[in-house]
Structure 1
């Protein structure tokens, strides 16, 4: 029997519910998460039009002004408008998180998938994952900053390395689990080859847990950027980022505790939105 005539989609839980993930995000926690993330993304995209001043503009006579008037979030120690720097700082965070996390997810998933095909490669990949996980993220960030210096590429590299073993092991576990599912056994019994089964059954059913983890990993990426910039290992002045703005706000908290509120609220809203999206996708996965 030709494998092109084999049809086993009705046995797979993926077939009739491809729009389920989107429907889960259109109500409840998923919708709330999309709205929160959308607000932050929109604020970052529209920063050139929403910012009352340039992010690096030093305003004469406006040093450490408290929030109010034309400076809604106040000014920093060199007279720069904190609101403008916060809006532009969002752009840096979004650029790092929405690029670095998917790259780490893709590399980790490919390694995890390859490890399921070859036993020797599986052993090598698992030991490499153990080595990466043996280093706490901050220790890894310090080591990389010493080698290549602080900056956006250091943050991106740390996020990619931190996510590779997470997605790699998740993909490996998912593939090994789905391989034993009844609909996969049914496909084999009627003559389907392994490549066809991988494309039509195993990979589609492995994407759902990876999607949930992707939303969660993006929230972790926000924390990594914030922690590294706060410690001086990330974005370097005068370029603003949410982490560096929180650091500057705490240094000037003696003059006004409100200096740190703006960037801190943005971080909370962004992380909360991503967590709500992750929870909505996870809840849908549990119901299936």
Structure 2
């Protein structure tokens, strides 16, 4: 058929199914779980980006002549075993977690998305791709992180690669299922009959209708990134001292739990808040978008 057939409007009965009601960003944020989780995440993000320049001490600077000072006006979270300000180091740790999310999650989306599309192409591509996903998912994330740290060296690079590899299979599997589900719809069959090219069909019709599930998996991948970064840094395989990270702070605090319990409160609360908010956000988005 000619190129013009690609722009032929599909019959109303065969067109892509419309949503029951439009759900904009404002409508999503009015949902308590989504609005609350997004608000806490935004607050932590703004604090990590805006507050550090306002503090009199940097995360690696000696802020007190005495170690393990209790919380005070000059040091709201106290100081660590070297006299460094714990608030400054906590905010630096949040920035590290955000850096891992920004670097690793898009890589996971790209790799998982391409593998998911490749898997949905047919039986001969589906079976080997699914077996590859099985192999990756058979290894716990922290065990995989230890392996990458041994190959690449301990540091941020190993953390980013671990997060990308660990999150990609779930994204690929969910996208594969969504693409296959959409491909069986009447509007796709009608588009094929009218001569719409496959790449145009995927880009303009199928993939936009898979955006919901990808958005949910992105939020879960962010929670995975925080957990893996914290776990590897806790084991000494992530961000190396003297640089600060949430897992590193938590690991350093174990020695002083009895004498200075406040040391562990900051990183423990922030790690829990990040993982919980991203998980609640994914669950709420899944429920909200599925009900449209």
Relative to the length of structure 2, the TM-score reads: 0.91
Q: Kindly report structure 1 stretches of 4+ aligned residues shifted beyond 4 Å.
A: 14-19
Q: Is the 8 A contact 1:52 1:84 kept in 2?
A: no
User: Within the alignment, does 1:176 sit opposite 2:180 as a pair?
Assistant: yes
The aligned counterpart of 1:3 is: 5
For 1:14 and 1:149, the matched residues in 2 are separated by 50
The aligned counterpart of 2:135 is: 131
Q: Among 23, 39, 44, which residue is 2:43 paired with?
A: 39
For 1:22 and 1:182, the matched residues in 2 are separated by 31
**76 and 170 in structure 1: CA distance in 2 versus 1, 3 angstrom threshold:** same
**13 and 36 in structure 1: CA distance in 2 versus 1, 3 angstrom threshold:** farther
SS at match of 2:95: helix
Q: Is the 8 A contact 2:64 2:79 kept in 1?
A: no
- Tell me the CA shift for residue 50 of structure 1: 3.8
Deviates more, 1:205-214 or 1:195-204: 195-204
Runs of 5+ unmatched residues, structure 1? none
**124 and 282 in structure 1: CA distance in 2 versus 1, 3 angstrom threshold:** same
User: Within the alignment, does 1:62 sit opposite 2:57 as a pair?
Assistant: no
User: Within the alignment, does 1:249 sit opposite 2:253 as a pair?
Assistant: yes
SS at match of 1:255: coil
Once the two structures are superposed, what CA deviation does each residue of 1:197-238 show, in whole Å capped at 9, x if it has no partner? 212221111111010111121012111111111111111101
User: Within the alignment, does 1:145 sit opposite 2:146 as a pair?
Assistant: no
Relative to the length of structure 1, the TM-score reads: 0.92
Deviates more, 1:58-67 or 1:200-209: 58-67
**39 and 191 in structure 1: CA distance in 2 versus 1, 3 angstrom threshold:** same
**75 and 109 in structure 1: CA distance in 2 versus 1, 3 angstrom threshold:** same
Query: What aligned pairs does 1:1-288 form with structure 2 within 5 A after superposition?
Result: 2-8=4-10, 11-13=15-17, 20=24, 23-288=27-292
- Tell me the CA shift for residue 193 of structure 1: 3.3
**31 and 139 in structure 1: CA distance in 2 versus 1, 3 angstrom threshold:** same
Runs of 5+ unmatched residues, structure 2? none
Deviates more, 1:115-124 or 1:132-141: 115-124
Deviates more, 1:106-115 or 1:153-162: 106-115
Tell me the C-alpha RMSD between the 2 structures: 2.1
Task: Give the length in aligned residue pairs.
Answer: 288
Deviates more, 1:50-59 or 1:7-16: 7-16
